[in-house]
Chains A and B, each alone.
Chain A
Amino acid sequence: EAGVAQSPRYKIIEKRQSVAFWCNPISGHATLYWYQQILGQGPKLLIQFQNNGVVDDSQLPKDRFSAERLKGVDSTLKIQPAKLEDSAVYLCASSLVGPSSYEQYFGPGTRLTVT
């Protein structure tokens, strides 16, 4: 079974530039999460989708971050404009809906450096 795919793996941009990350979840997983992991911290939820609908985006800085999952499969997370404090690893995770929804599978992450 293929895992969660993410690209790019690394990205370096200057502040005020824009950047986009892509995620392809495990086939059949209806729920998709984007987490932000700052160095030395645990992952923190940015947004949760179920199919193509948003379930929780309460911690997404909506003035600069946006995310979509148009066809209920792949997802894109965008930052525009980036700030220095956005330097982090952006992790995508997916899970089934139902009793085993606690089992979240993570991709390798995209390491963003904002200079």
Chain B
Amino acid sequence: QKEVEQDPGPLSVPEGAIVSLNCTYSNSAFQYFMWYRQYSRKGPELLMYTYSSGNKEDGRFTAQVDKSSKYISLFIRDSQPSDSATYLCAMSRPGNTPLVFGKGTRLSVIA
């Protein structure tokens, strides 16, 4: 079993739709949960992070972590064509530790 599982998609939605992206994980030591966005031929950029369980909202983006189910989600409201990218979930243990990534989900928002 991989440490982090993420459905690679692709996912195609119409402009304005609500997008739901998800990851599951197996390592209960993970405490930091991140979502990165990666445009084609670019490096990943940090979109949101959550420490431990709970929700976090930033504009059109909401991140949720359910540690009891080992399940994290990213919701995008009022999706825009500019949101078209690959979304990577990433997790880390406390301390100065590397990130463990999911495969990434490729999202296309159609105008």
Interface residues of A (CB under 8 A from B): 4, 31, 33, 40-45, 48, 50, 55-56, 91, 93, 95, 97-98, 101-109, 111
Contacts and interface: CB of A to CB of B under 8 A. Distances in A.
Given A42-B90, A42-B103, A106 B98 contact: no
B102 A42 contact: yes
20 contacts: A40-B104, A41-B104, A42-B88, A42-B90, A42-B101, A42-B104, A43-B44, A43-B101, A45-B98, A91-B43, A95-B96, A101-B95, A101-B97, A102-B32, A105-B46, A106-B36, A106-B43, A106-B44, A106-B45, A109-B42
A111 B88 CA distance: 19
Closest 4 CB pairs of A and B: A42-B101, A106-B43, A102-B32, A45-B98
B96 A104 contact: no
Interface string B71-111: 00000000000000000101010011111111110000000
Given A42-B6, A42-B90, A101 B96 contact: yes
Given A93-B43, A103-B46, A106-B36, 17 more contacts: A33-B98, A40-B103, A41-B104, A42-B90, A42-B102, A44-B101, A45-B98, A48-B98, A91-B44, A97-B96, A101-B95, A102-B99, A103-B49, A108-B41, A108-B42, A109-B42, A111-B41
Nearest to B42: A108
B96 A50 contact: yes
